[in-house]
Amino acid sequence: MTDLDTGVPHSARVWNYWLGGTDNFPADRAVGDEFAKLYPDIVVVARSSRAFLKRAVTYLAADEGVRQFLDIGTGIPSAEHTHQVAHAVAPTAQVVYVDNDPLVLAHAHSVLSGEAVYVDADLRDPDAVLASAGLDLSRPVGLILMNILGHIPDLNEAAAITQTLMAALPSGSYLITADGTNVLDGPAFTEAINVWNANAPLSYHLRHPDDLSRFLTGLELLEPGLVPCSRWRPSPNATPADLRETDEYAAVARKP
């Protein structure tokens, strides 16, 4: 059984807190609140990011017929997570979650109930991730890298990991990705990230969208391109609040 140290803030639980979830503890909420005082838009970022993921997965499942999804660095499964969104369109879609955190593993096993597969592997070893995922690599895969590449300090390494993963997937596969940026409110977000990095064991690094574009090298970028999460194919019913731009850029790209 995994021992949970609830006195130390945990990235997955803090993100869960910002999303309005309940799988968090006082230490997580304290860091989350301190972060939000410095950068109040973090709650908007978290929810805009989740809304983008929902739209992107729905598009791939409904319009492109993708029936396999590999979600790496998924964090704690919560409302409208990848398997729920994919299964709403295609009940037989296969969803494989990858994380290497014992806390996430314990939580995932308790809530997934056979709806998806959880793999204990590290993004920094993409070959091991692919070997353990159990996907049919003769059919397209939707690779999901949401707010995870920012945890790789070196941009070249992050780009190489992405390219290794995509190289192993067949033509017609897709990359769904989003990460924090520093262009709209960089100083405030950077200050908050510094607080995060001083209190949490896994650091995060904001990047310019030009840097994020390196993850898309060799892929066909879908319209509207690499844009703030809220601007990626918003719902026709989107409100001005839904369309508010924040410092997280997202994209969906196809492997030719």
How does pLDDT run across 116-137, given as a tens digit for each residue? 888 999 999 999 999 999 999 9
Q: Using pLDDT thresholds of 50, 70 and 90, give the confidence band for residue 2.
A: very low
Contact 240, 162 (CB under 8 A): no
User: Structure tokens of 212?
Assistant: 């994020």
CATH number of 11-254: 3.40.50.150
The whole model's pTM is what? 0.92
- pLDDT surpassing 60 at residue 149: yes
User: Structure tokens of 4?
Assistant: 């949970």
How does pLDDT run across 47-86, given as a tens digit for each residue? 999 999 999 999 999 999 999 999 998 877 666 889 999 9
Domain boundary assignment for the chain: 11-254
**Is beta strand 174-180 parallel, antiparallel or unpaired with respect to 142-146?**
parallel
pLDDT value for 1? 40
DSSP three-state, residue 193: helix
Contact 164, 198 (CB under 8 A): no
DSSP three-state, residue 98: strand
Q: Using pLDDT thresholds of 50, 70 and 90, give the confidence band for residue 19.
A: confident
